[in-house]
Structure 1
């Protein structure tokens, strides 16, 4: 578990106070209002699934309620996000398991192989892919699937990195002081290369255009890859 300052302490708190419902929809886009849905994860009937960087576990709760997985594990390193997710959705146990851990540690210590791993602007964005992707490969069963949505460019409009390089992005400490955290915003071919070097196969990528205008809108880069059978 992380012992560093929780830079996600404030994230999602206001929504959690007024919206306790399991979402009816599953979106991959940054704006969370369009594009493909959970069908990209395949048939989840009887499958074991993990949401990497699950936050308040809303996507995970949706899968439990609207698909038929045997288990969805919502993994997040933030104590605050773990508390919010537990408060909102602990009633969905045991099919929903809410775990406080960084994604790499969880994947390396997984007791059994996962059928599907996914991240919606979650741990894939905030973890060095040279550590996360190999751990994800090992945690997947042969033929298992990894799907993740990440920023196609910076929220400022600046282009994504042409190498595996993180940028410091604004954050706040629990006390409200300004801070930064590392985020990996990479070009499509860099993600594809990183997945290939980690051992993934059948890699595909798609850019989902931004659905609105404004200073923080962004296109979404959606990637799917498989552990070789």
Structure 2
């Protein structure tokens, strides 16, 4: 009798990201920026009063933004979720001492959302999972995890870093990445036009959708404009356990 050989785990394409900064900067940021350059624009005030809020950071990376909210705002707790083992380990090293208000979770973001019905008042992705996960999959899962009336905030690129316009339909482009051993690789990134995001959010069960383009403070690679999206989870969605059926009924597409 033979058994199948287990598939090798996918390489962690975030292994190298943020390591240089982590070696020299272990501080909790004094403020939160939504812009790509992390140097201008609005801050956490756009989220409103966070007193007692249950918050989730979708694709938290090293956890810097989540740490800011845990320290400088009176949240009940914030879950910083990331699928990368390397990023999760970095976050634990930098900010593990902030538990239990900051909860660092190593998990696939979509899986975690689906397993957490109505668990959060606020979900946000600051150049995180919303950029690197199919919105047709991620956004309905976020609707499941938010309480009725809960808020979703997404900061994403308004255009490609090359200056190319955003995609006019729901498709990703492959961008360069690096495996842990330094081998070149690619990963998908969703850089979408405003109307594509708006439709995806509406299909996923969100309302009161707003989109604002935040200009870069300086030209160059760090000068990319930011698209800031905000939306409210509808109050009339099907029960969380039926979210796939609800999604299929409204869009005609199986989840």
TM-score (norm 1): 0.97
Q: Give CA-to-partner distance per residue, 1:42-85, whole Å, 9 cap, x none.
A: 21100100000100000000001100001000000000000000
Residue from 167, 186, 194 that aligns with 2:200:
194
Q: CA deviation at 1:3?
A: 3.5
For these two proteins, the number of residue pairs brought into alignment is: 228
2:216 aligned with 1:210, yes or no?
yes
Residue from 45, 49, 60 that aligns with 1:43:
49
Residue 99 of structure 1: SS of its match in structure 2? strand
Supply the distance in 1 between the matched residues of 2:89 and 2:117 (Cα, whole angstroms): 24
Residue 227 of structure 2: SS of its match in structure 1? strand
Q: Give CA-to-partner distance per residue, 1:168-188, whole Å, 9 cap, x none.
A: 000000001110000000000
1:16-165 alignment runs, 5 A limit: 16-110=22-116, 112-165=118-171
Runs (5+) with no aligned partner, structure 2: 1-7, 236-255
Q: CA deviation at 1:215?
A: 3.8
Q: CA deviation at 1:14?
A: 0.6
Supply the distance in 1 between the matched residues of 2:53 and 2:222 (Cα, whole angstroms): 35
Residue 73 of structure 1: SS of its match in structure 2? strand
Supply the distance in 2 between the matched residues of 1:36 and 1:80 (Cα, whole angstroms): 29
Q: Give CA-to-partner distance per residue, 1:107-134, whole Å, 9 cap, x none.
A: 0011652000001000000000000000
Q: CA deviation at 1:192?
A: 0.4
Q: CA deviation at 1:193?
A: 0.6
Supply the distance in 2 between the matched residues of 1:110 and 1:181 (Cα, whole angstroms): 27
Q: CA RMSD in A?
A: 1.2
TM-score (norm 2): 0.87
Larger Rg, first or second structure (1 or 2): 2
Say whether the 8 Å CA contact 2:117–2:146 is kept in structure 1.
no
Residue 223 of structure 2: SS of its match in structure 1? coil
Runs (5+) with no aligned partner, structure 1: none
Q: CA deviation at 1:166?
A: 0.4
Runs of 4+ displaced beyond 6 Å: none
Say whether the 8 Å CA contact 2:168–2:193 is kept in structure 1.
yes
Supply the distance in 2 between the matched residues of 1:146 and 1:101 (Cα, whole angstroms): 19
